[in-house]
Structure 1
Amino acid sequence: MPQLTAPTAAVRRSYLAGLAEFRAEGRLGPDDHSMLGWAARDVPEDPAGFERYTAMIRALALPDGPRPEGWVPCSELWYVDDDEWLGHLNLRHRLTPGLLEVGGHIGYDVRPSARRRGHATAMLREGLAVARSLGIESALLTCDHDNAASRRVIEKAGGVLEDQRGDKLRFWVPTEG
């Protein structure tokens, strides 16, 4: 049964295949400023390098962990089923003024070959419980105004539309439920 887990080298091959799927969609290039875009730029393919990579991703959640300038602690969780990487969820532990506008507390992606099977809904449900454990009572999620699938996922989780800023819709989602 799929579940959120800390990044692990056990899904290396599947993770790399998932990144290839995103690249085939035109994602993960130098102009992709998402968490996945940043993390996927220099993924080592060899087992030892990939183990170091997953350790670096896990360290982003530590209060004093190494991370890019201006980033807040962020728990990157992978959605896996046995050794199959299906997607990921990022949970930012607090909001900066920029994240309050675009990005919010939680972002997620499901790899293209695993879409339309309820994985995003399940990931978000699990991610909201993790957010609650961090003391976040209501999580901000944003999506592109024309991303009907993501909007449905957010609304299914109890998201209430606050407003639209630019091309982004902003929803507040309670973390208990």
Structure 2
Amino acid sequence: MSFHREWADSGEDMIPWFIKKDPSNFPAMVQDLATASVGEGLPEGWVPDSAFWLVNHENRVLGAVSIRHQLTELLMNSGGHIGYGIRPSERRKGYATKLLQLALQEAKKLHIDRALVVCDAWNTGSEKTICNNGGIPDLDCIEEDGNVIKRFWITVE
């Protein structure tokens, strides 16, 4: 609850998508995510994705990640395989780099050989995280409503 509340109070966009869900009935939320991971009950145009949380030794949720099992045209352009976020009070501590590293291990289990990871052009922290995990810049940037999105490919080993 504190993870969700802190992020909501920050006014920032909540990424990955599932952290926008109300966690007050956490078992139901987890069940919805489990169902989505096998492709059941998805909205039109959505693909199965797996959700994970990064939790420290005190059971404090530090971040979350969504791994999309495949790419649609929209995801190929601006969503990518992996979307992650670190709670505002825990940023700049290396957690994003670790979370993406762990997500890439999970992506390998999903038979993703090359993962597309994207970030807003202004988000230098996320760009460094992606590059720290082997991200190679794609020459194509995407512009959506005036926002430039950088794309990176990571070979999953």
Would you call these one fold, judging by a TM-score over 0.5?
yes
Q: Classify the secondary structure of the residue corresponding to 2:141.
A: strand
Contact in 2 for aligned 1:142/1:171 (Cα 8 Å): yes
1:27 equivalent in structure 2: 12
1:10 equivalent in structure 2: none
1:96 equivalent in structure 2: 72
Distance 1:95-1:112 versus aligned 2 partners, 3 A rule = same
Moved over 6 A (4+): none
Contact in 2 for aligned 1:145/1:169 (Cα 8 Å): yes
Listed as ranges, the gaps of 5+ residues in structure 2 are none
After superposition, the CA RMSD in angstroms is 1.6
Listed as ranges, the gaps of 5+ residues in structure 1 are 1-15
* Alignment-mate amino acid for residue 42 of structure 2: R
In the TM superposition, 1:16-165 aligns within 5 A as: 16-27=1-12, 35-36=16-17, 39-41=19-21, 43-45=22-24, 49-63=25-39, 65-82=40-57, 83-162=59-138, 163-165=140-142
Q: Classify the secondary structure of the residue corresponding to 1:100.
A: helix
* Alignment-mate amino acid for residue 150 of structure 2: L
The share of aligned pairs that are identical, in percent, is 35
Q: Classify the secondary structure of the residue corresponding to 1:149.
A: helix
Deviation of 1:44 after TM superposition, in Å, equals 4.8
2:153 equivalent in structure 1: 172
Alignment deviations for residues 11-47 of structure 1 (CA, whole Å, 9 cap, x no partner): xxxxx1111221222135xxx7x543x5524x152xx
Number of aligned positions between the proteins: 151
TM-score (norm. length: structure 1): 0.79
CA distance in 2, matches of 1:56, 1:87: 19
